[in-house]
Amino acid sequence: MSLVDRVKRLREVLQINAVQFAKKVNVPQATYNRIEKGSGNLTADAIADIIKTFEVNPYWLLFGEGGEEPVFTKQSELSNQITITKDEFIELQRKALRQEDRIRELEKQVEELRKG
């Protein structure tokens, strides 16, 4: 699976369309369309934005380490982290991506869980 295939798979797992994905990672829509079709290249900045925005493990994104399904950094960090399943994390990402104001609510809930 190539880098482009992994980016497309990430987008599919998060259940967002190409327009939403391109906007989130600051890539013009036409450029992103060319990337998915294999006629364009991801810049280093775009790759960094994908890693940061979607909290995807850079080794998975760049090299495919961990298999064909996306590996998220929150799953692998052990210190000061709440353990959640991959499916729970993906669902949280989907909700946050669909409703920007929901991000604040999720952060508040995580903080309450940490205190409790």
- pLDDT per position as a tens digit, 61-85: 888 888 888 888 764 444 445 556 7
Percentage of the residues of the chain whose pLDDT score is greater than 70: 80
Supply the pLDDT for residue 78: 44
Three-class DSSP category at 114: helix
User: Stretch 30-40: mean pLDDT, rounded?
Assistant: 90
- pLDDT per position as a tens digit, 2-25: 889 999 999 999 999 999 999 999
CATH number at residue 87: 1.10.260.40
**Residue 12 sits in which domain range?**
3-115
Q: Residue 106: is its pLDDT beyond 60?
A: yes
Q: Based on the structure, what is the number of domains in the chain?
A: 1
